[in-house]
Structure 1
């Protein structure tokens, strides 16, 4: 197997991971800290670039890198000028985008066209671009290419600007996912000429620029793949290993639930449901909530570990955590989170309550998506939480819950761009054991659902 280097830009951390087939050979990481501005909060792309160059230089001494792939979080677009960014890559948590909501509304495509729900802050990347054009017209006039965030880094690596559908196909308002074309928003705003032609995520974009080769010491034989949106990178290993229907719960700052084989007709914009475009541009029904962030809010600095006995004590006390504990995304974005009842004494009680909250919200969204058959694949922080996995297995009897403790899931998926559609064999995940007291758990779920706010 040849070695593939993957730059994985998450919202919280940035990693560079080297893979030789299914094995991780080398890894480095750094915190991802956005800059406050001006002109608005934005990604510190120069810090990430320095990290990438230094990592490739260091790793390339010991390993013969043949391919480079990039994966990043979504809701981020790069507006490229002649030889640099015309405007910074906006932090999607920037609330100031809301200033243009009334202006944007007539241009927003209908949900039936894009399967992209209206979202808060800058989580619809089309609204980000609209804001940038309307609030910074002089800088916007210098834009020559608009590409998703992964393709910004591949442009810097190769000098070639291309689009890629997993990046523009996720709650962006920019892509008509079922028709596989740019949306009416792009046409209505006159942006068509700024979007370069799309290529597949696994296509070779080109070789490294001479300046990059000089800085990293890598040879001119290194191939740069087009790159992929992170949630879609997580899907890649499973697209080969499983036949739909199956569902992937990819968790970190966000918990993204992707239901392969589910009916897009069930999607409900009011519940922050959508369709991603997968690596072959096919629609993937999905729902999400800010699971890692909400877990931390409920935890409130307490111990992050708990047991099933702690969860049983929380359920017996009837304590409920109700959404939403962060304002961005999820099926109840307008409802402030609340905890009803008094937690029993004990070190693990807050972690148990947070685990129950994430389990019940996952279960709720699985039913909303119609993801009621086939295995449930759990990746990221939820997979490392045995209480979450055991409780979910009890609620979804008949569906195997398969947690993966591989922390490189997204990066590993991106590494497969170098060999797609071939995939090296990996040890299959073992099913989680279901929580034994199903009756108590079902009663607790009924009480939690009865207390949920309306989505109207």
Structure 2
């Protein structure tokens, strides 16, 4: 039997840990996922079980190598950001993989500001709003201040994606997509580590920078392969779009957060933008990507629970709600929290209440998108993730931006696929496929278009799919 040439991708989220195999046409041929229980850190705060995660990655890859049906040519990794693994000289973890949601001590934040400048100044220089432990560089500062003995024992601190690569390659590197992700480590103007990083001696703990699109040639379990060093998952998810489209666009990635990413906006962040939760990422080529965030998916989850209870409907009843342009036009945006807390009695039915919430959401989403569109207009907005399959959201978005083409993008496993594409030339001699992303165009319908197209939800003329948030 002829073995299938593949690349293996480990895509590590906070909840789901996935191993995916793509063939040379980037078609998914195998997938496996697990959920690993968290463990408490020394303060009792839940943390990733770094030992269980490491064992799963190593064992899974070894088992794949032993299968006779795949020719594993390469491996790469994508993972969530803002998380460090501290390794000693023998490559063993010496500290928990701390949760980026863990509260950050206010006294330490004040001490940092007193030493290195106001929060606003450092935020502007590092393109990172003040986000506590989500600024992963501040985790390094905290470790040095609070646990100097552990800090001294550590040879390297690796962001999670690079630790995943280290597990198989034994080589330690730093990746620009992880460093350039609201870490407060990188000076975007100087294109180098911020002066506070060098003043604290942190480069001694950070592994050498390595290009995210260059693979290592290593032996894993005695077999030669190409191996990437891993990428931050948000930056990896942008790669298929950068590979497939060259006209300026914005990617609206929707999930728990709705993140607007404009790879064609290179203007420096202003204080006003930072105060409105804007930030910059670095893409896999080291280029700045202006971004804004909206905590919308979480709110939607709470909303549909409240609506289902109040109107005695199934939890996912919202999937049957068609866009009514006349109804939407008669509603004024309001506070998103208003519907989830009370006052649902003022709406005659589920459909009206749901329209009201999404109309209110769209007012905020429009402002969030405009923050990254300013000074860098685009011709297209691509929407992926949960809201891309929500016709009410998509029609309202199209109505909010009539001058731009709005598309729902269907591309499962975007971050994993991006990690595979990042090292394409290292393992795949075929040209990049031109049809990796399935698009559906949305236009705001005329007010009289009140009747759903024939075929109902999911038909060709209605919903682009059934993946709702």
| Same fold at TM > 0.5 | yes
Residue 41 of structure 2 corresponds to residue 37 of structure 1: yes
Q: Distance in 1 between matches of 2:348 and 2:36?
A: 36
Paired position in structure 1 for 2:80: 73
Q: Distance in 2 between matches of 1:52 and 1:162?
A: 18
Change (3 A) 1:285 1:64: same
Q: How does 1:92-241 map to 2 (within 5 A)?
A: 92-106=100-114, 107=116, 110-119=122-131, 121-209=132-220, 213=221, 220-241=223-244
Single out whichever of 169-178 and 294-303 deviates more from structure 2. Answer: 294-303
Structure 2 gap ranges (5+): 309-314, 449-469
Once the 2 structures are TM-superposed, how far is the Cα of residue 157 of structure 1 from its aligned partner? Answer: 1.2
1:292 to 290, 297, 301: 297
1:19 to 10, 17, 22: 22
Paired position in structure 1 for 2:256: 253
Find the residue that maps to 1:378 and give its secondary structure. Answer: strand
Q: Distance in 1 between matches of 2:326 and 2:42?
A: 49
Paired position in structure 2 for 1:443: none
Contact 2:325–2:445, Cα closer than 8 Å, also in 1: no
**Superposition CA RMSD, Å:** 3.0
Q: Distance in 1 between matches of 2:391 and 2:48?
A: 34
Change (3 A) 1:174 1:427: closer
Change (3 A) 1:136 1:416: same
Residue 435 of structure 2 corresponds to residue 426 of structure 1: yes
Structure 1 gap ranges (5+): 214-218, 326-336, 440-456
Cα deviation, 1:75-119, whole Å, max 9, x if unaligned, reads 112222222122222111111444522122233662332111212
Paired position in structure 2 for 1:448: none
1:374 to 366, 375, 379: 379
Find the residue that maps to 1:308 and give its secondary structure. Answer: coil
Contact 1:75–1:123, Cα closer than 8 Å, also in 2: yes
Q: Distance in 2 between matches of 1:393 and 1:251?
A: 16
Once the 2 structures are TM-superposed, how far is the Cα of residue 300 of structure 1 from its aligned partner? Answer: 3.2
Cα deviation, 1:5-25, whole Å, max 9, x if unaligned, reads 111112332211111132111
TM-score, normalised by the number of residues in structure 2? 0.81
Cα deviation, 1:233-281, whole Å, max 9, x if unaligned, reads 1111121222252111122232221112124235421011111111111
Q: Distance in 1 between matches of 2:86 and 2:401?
A: 44
- Give the number of aligned pairs: 420
Residue 292 of structure 2 corresponds to residue 281 of structure 1: no
Once the 2 structures are TM-superposed, how far is the Cα of residue 424 of structure 1 from its aligned partner? Answer: 2.3
TM-score, normalised by the number of residues in structure 1? 0.83
Residue 331 of structure 2 corresponds to residue 320 of structure 1: no
Once the 2 structures are TM-superposed, how far is the Cα of residue 207 of structure 1 from its aligned partner? Answer: 1.9
Change (3 A) 1:31 1:340: farther
Contact 1:299–1:354, Cα closer than 8 Å, also in 2: no
Contact 1:273–1:285, Cα closer than 8 Å, also in 2: yes
Residue 268 of structure 2 corresponds to residue 265 of structure 1: yes
